[in-house]
Chain A
């Protein structure tokens, strides 16, 4: 996802939702993480204008806000696809062959981890552990887990997400 695309999307975003999100948390600076989680839920990522608005309303310097947001893996600074593929990189998945699963997904979609397809269909991410170790190797697509994978199964799974 190039910076131009992000800039093209950014001016159109409607910031009015942010005020509503922040309302219950006004004056509670310790609630900044839940606020960012809700803002991200709304926009799919954390656009710069939204960050500026959060900074203004919560009276937290923008630098500190970015400091928090970039620390945690959950927060994304770029737009993401409709379907988020999370490849589990946990131990059990690793020794059961998750690198081969990741390779196959990367080949099939032409993406590296952290990237999004141009049509905003898929974003590929890595996650430390999904907690479904018994079914390793596992991926999650949005909230649906897919377990006991082999590279051959990848294409059919991806095709089922339009």
Chain B
């Protein structure tokens, strides 16, 4: 019998902040005292709050300790586990709380969140099927065994669930098409090829609650008449793959996968396919080609996968987060409950990955319809370092940016589309005044250009030409006509590309031109990048009024370009300076300013 359960976050975020050495130190401390067996340690799923990792949550006490280091473990064991006293200094502290917060319910990051998809993450042991079942797992699946396939599709449709992977198509309708397609053999495919740079929710769900995905696939198989499924998962996610494999073998052992499941006339097996690194494989027809062992190139639709998919058979392809919602919808009364959250056109919750220049980085799950302001300021805690919010990029390389004027935009599929962004997979990358929007557009396009599979000309050639123009602009060689050319090329590529990659890849360029045209014009006409990113388009200067002569910048400079006496204003030798930015990062007095090249007099920052 365990006295307490300690959930140690074992997701990538906390691993990179050192959760493994924290666990090691904890085990050593417990062993030293001979009390190791009294506690259950679970390297479990993710509470989402990567910013303050590594995190340990202790049950049944309901205490969340954060920012842990191995050296804290002796005190944690001594005081909390042995002494029964809370170690206040390891609780969550921040500018948004008056007193250290002890658990989810008092930490502001969680206040506006609603856990559907992340319901088990960080609570159960992802490697234990029993814990999933105890939390109501596989109940929806057993209910679906008593239902007609068409009725299951109908329920998912009535819940209003839309695909969480990108375009937001109705999941129930997709299932119905596959159900109605002619053919004996059908497939369920789970798209776990999360490739959007800036999104990591699928990874977290797979690592934290793998059985939810299996249950979603089982219900889908039942609904469309399939008896085989594939999970196509990125090879870059080894822990997710390991946990899926464990989950599959446990489900087989329990008779939830295999032949005549639970005595019903229903067979289902699940295979895992590891992706080999190609962003375009997030596109459904490319993903299917890859499972078939071919180059992952898309093909024209129709025929849609619902008619002719994997190995030419009718196939439903759903994203990880979509499938994780399914058990909640198909459980008794679930569809109505699901539809009661969200907006008219977008039901339920959505998981967002908060990253970039935001204080609380991590994963959050919020009801659809919440405003961007609420996500960034209430959940995300505002901008890092107290700088001004500039824009947020929603939907990765297929999406667009949303500027400060639109902070009150509600987050749902349709509002985001109207604003020129997309829901995509739910990556939200926050930018402040030190982010250059032209460079950002260039960055996204260089990504999509590299990932273009090369099959269709508009995408293969078009992205390359657009990238050349953007490179020129960021190097100071932009021409006034460039903006019109970019605009017209963007629409040609959108209209004529074969797949979603090409059709959406100009979005970041279009949306940055739409909201930050002045920044492009400043790059082109004034040869100035006021964010201090495009190296050819600015110089650093030390403001003699503000500089205190603390010498920190001079010591940080890798090329010894900064000189000056202690306690006297310093100076930068522009002949030596490489614009590496080490000084501006280190300066605590904002004394280093960004100014246009070669115009000494004009410091109009």
**Chain A residues in the interface with B (C-beta under 8 A):** 29-34, 36-37, 67-68, 71-75, 89-97, 100, 103, 127-136, 138, 143, 145-148, 150-151
Instruction: Indicate if the CB atoms of B236 and A131 lie closer than 8 Å.
Output: yes
Instruction: Indicate if the CB atoms of A133 and B200 lie closer than 8 Å.
Output: yes
Instruction: Indicate if the CB atoms of B356 and A95 lie closer than 8 Å.
Output: yes
Q: Is B354 engaged at the interface, CB distance under 8 Å to the other chain? A: yes
Within the assembled complex, what's the spacing in Å between the Cα atoms of A84 and B17? 20
Instruction: Indicate if the CB atoms of B277 and A74 lie closer than 8 Å.
Output: yes
Residue numbers in A under 8 Å from B585 (CB-CB)? 150
A29-B293, A72-B276, A95-B357 given; 18 more Cβ-contact pairs under 8 Å:
A30-B291, A33-B273, A37-B274, A91-B197, A91-B356, A95-B435, A95-B440, A97-B581, A100-B580, A128-B451, A129-B197, A130-B12, A133-B427, A134-B353, A134-B363, A136-B361, A138-B16, A147-B13
Within the assembled complex, what's the spacing in Å between the Cα atoms of A103 and B431? 22
Within the assembled complex, what's the spacing in Å between the Cα atoms of A34 and B199? 26
Instruction: Indicate if the CB atoms of A145 and B12 lie closer than 8 Å.
Output: yes
Residue numbers in A under 8 Å from B296 (CB-CB)? 71-72
Residue numbers in B under 8 Å from A127 (CB-CB)? 236, 277
Residue numbers in A under 8 Å from B238 (CB-CB)? 143
Which of A71, A130, A145, A148 has the most CB atoms of chain B within a 10 A radius of its CB?
A71
Instruction: Indicate if the CB atoms of B278 and A136 lie closer than 8 Å.
Output: no
User: Mind listing 24 A-B residue pairs with CB under 8 Å?
Assistant: A30-B292, A30-B293, A67-B295, A68-B293, A68-B294, A68-B295, A74-B276, A91-B197, A91-B427, A92-B198, A92-B355, A92-B356, A95-B440, A128-B197, A128-B447, A129-B198, A131-B194, A132-B200, A134-B50, A134-B51, A134-B355, A135-B16, A136-B355, A136-B356
Q: Which of A75, A89, A100, A131 contacts B203 (CB 8 A)?
A: A131
Which of A67, A72, A143, A151 has the most CB atoms of chain B within a 10 A radius of its CB?
A72
**Chain B residues in the interface with A (C-beta under 8 A):** 12-13, 15-17, 50-51, 194-200, 203, 235-238, 273-279, 290-297, 311, 353-357, 361-363, 393, 396-397, 427, 429, 431, 435, 440, 443-444, 447, 451, 453, 558, 580-582, 585
Instruction: Indicate if the CB atoms of B16 and A33 lie closer than 8 Å.
Output: no
- A90-B198 contact, Cβ under 8 Å, with A33-B290, A150-B585: yes
Instruction: Indicate if the CB atoms of A134 and B354 lie closer than 8 Å.
Output: yes
Within the assembled complex, what's the spacing in Å between the Cα atoms of A93 and B354? 12
Within the assembled complex, what's the spacing in Å between the Cα atoms of A151 and B580? 10
- A131-B237 contact, Cβ under 8 Å, with A71-B296, A72-B276, A95-B435: yes
- A135-B277 contact, Cβ under 8 Å, with A71-B295, A90-B197, A128-B195: no
What is the CB-to-nearest-CB distance from B11 to chain A, in angstroms, rounded to a whole number?
Answer: 9
Residue numbers in B under 8 Å from A128 (CB-CB)? 195, 197, 277, 279, 447, 451
Within the assembled complex, what's the spacing in Å between the Cα atoms of A143 and B367? 35
Q: Which of B16, B277, B297, B311 contacts A146 (CB 8 A)?
A: B16
Instruction: Indicate if the CB atoms of A73 and B200 lie closer than 8 Å.
Output: no
Within the assembled complex, what's the spacing in Å between the Cα atoms of A71 and B440? 26
Within the assembled complex, what's the spacing in Å between the Cα atoms of A31 and B273? 9
Within the assembled complex, what's the spacing in Å between the Cα atoms of A29 and B362? 41
What is the CB-to-nearest-CB distance from A29 to chain B, in angstroms, rounded to a whole number?
Answer: 6
Within the assembled complex, what's the spacing in Å between the Cα atoms of A74 and B431? 31
- A135-B361 contact, Cβ under 8 Å, with A92-B429, A94-B443: yes
Instruction: Indicate if the CB atoms of A132 and B451 lie closer than 8 Å.
Output: no
Instruction: Indicate if the CB atoms of B276 and A31 lie closer than 8 Å.
Output: no
Instruction: Indicate if the CB atoms of B16 and A91 lie closer than 8 Å.
Output: no
- A72-B278 contact, Cβ under 8 Å, with A33-B293, A135-B16, A135-B17: yes
Instruction: Indicate if the CB atoms of A100 and B581 lie closer than 8 Å.
Output: yes
Name the CB-closest residue of A to B432.
A95
Q: Which of B199, B203, B273, B278 contacts A71 (CB 8 A)?
A: B278
Name the CB-closest residue of B to A129.
B197
Residue numbers in A under 8 Å from B50 (CB-CB)? 132, 134-135
Instruction: Indicate if the CB atoms of A73 and B198 lie closer than 8 Å.
Output: no
Within the assembled complex, what's the spacing in Å between the Cα atoms of A36 and B581? 43
What is the CB-to-nearest-CB distance from A154 to chain B, in angstroms, rounded to a whole number?
Answer: 11
